[in-house]
Amino acid sequence: MNNNDEIIIRPANNNDDLKRIAELIYKTDVYIYPYWFENVENAKEELSQRLLEEGFIFNINNIDVAVDSKTNEIVGIINSYTKNSNLNYDYTNLKNKNERYNFTITNYVEHLVNDIKNVPYAYISNICVHENYRGKKIAKKLINYVKDKYKKQLLDEIYLDVIINNKSAVVAYEKNGFEVQSDVFTGFAGPSEEEPEVVSMSSRL
Ligand SMILES: CC(C)(COP(=O)(O)OP(=O)(O)OC[C@H]1O[C@@H](n2cnc3c(N)ncnc32)[C@H](O)[C@@H]1OP(=O)(O)O)[C@@H](O)C(=O)NCCC(=O)NCCS
């Protein structure tokens, strides 16, 4: 078992294990990403390449990673941005690709991007700690890292949306200063899927 002191949080870069980052993004939402990519192997192949595309919501520049310094393994990720992040991606190619992208890009990614353009807050869209490393306060380290980052940019609030039946995530956010800020609303799923119930949470920086 690894000691938490051996976990380093730092910005992701092009030389990182992009497939591991893609895998961890895939595991942050059991509705949208399985619908989008069908399975984790597809996500690892495709999303790992898109991480390098300028302006894409999951661009490597928006991601910070938790690394086990003993093994250099990426054990956690957090994807976050602000209205000043480069989110000027042309989604046309994705939309044209297939029905799945057409649905999800229209209803999910564009919604997120448009939302963030209008608010003076930071936004966390994805956080994941690898199964073997959960319960070691790595999520706490990742959250504190991005909070410090945006505090230094003089922002004073950070928010996120979370599926309410994802108890581990809700508890982890509550333990790290986030409070529910909205009524329950309907999240995004594939057209034939049951729609998840979601709330927005935010924390002062
Ligand atoms: C949510 C997640 C990131 C938490 O990561 P983690 O590194 O295990 O969390 P931490 O160890 O930092 O725990 C933070 C706090 O939440 C609590 N917590 C975490 N998981 C919990 C669980 N399943 N039940 C109860 N409390 C839990 C911890 O006890 C800790 O509280 P403490 O500070 O008082 O000790 C992790 O479970 C995960 O990757 N889940 C899958 C991906 C996902 O759903 N992401 C969220 C999408 S919005």
User: Strand (E) positions, 49-154?
Assistant: 63-68, 73-81, 122-129
Q: How far apart are CA 20 and CA 48, in angstroms?
A: 8
Residue written as token pair 């399985």: 34
pLDDT single digits (tens) 167-187: 999 999 999 999 999 888 887
Q: Does domain 4-204 have CATH number 1.20.1050.10?
A: no
Angle subtended at Cα 53 by Cα 126 and Cα 109, rounded to the nearest 5 degrees: 45
What pLDDT score was predicted for residue 1? Answer: 47
Alpha helix positions (H), 10-97: 18-26, 32-37, 40-50, 92-97
Q: How far apart are CA 198 and CA 205, in angstroms?
A: 23
pLDDT: is 160 or 195 the higher one? 160
Which of 20, 80, 164, 171 is the pocket-test mutation for ligand 1 (most atoms within 8 Å of CB)?
171
Average pLDDT, the chain: 89
Structural domain spans, the chain = 4-204
pLDDT single digits (tens) 8-53: 999 999 999 999 999 999 999 888 888 778 899 999 998 999 999 9
What pLDDT score was predicted for residue 195? Answer: 79
Residues with CB under 6 A from ligand 1: 27-28, 127-129, 134-140, 162, 166-169, 171-172, 175
Q: Tell me: pLDDT of 151 over 50.
A: yes
Residue 14 one-letter amino acid: N
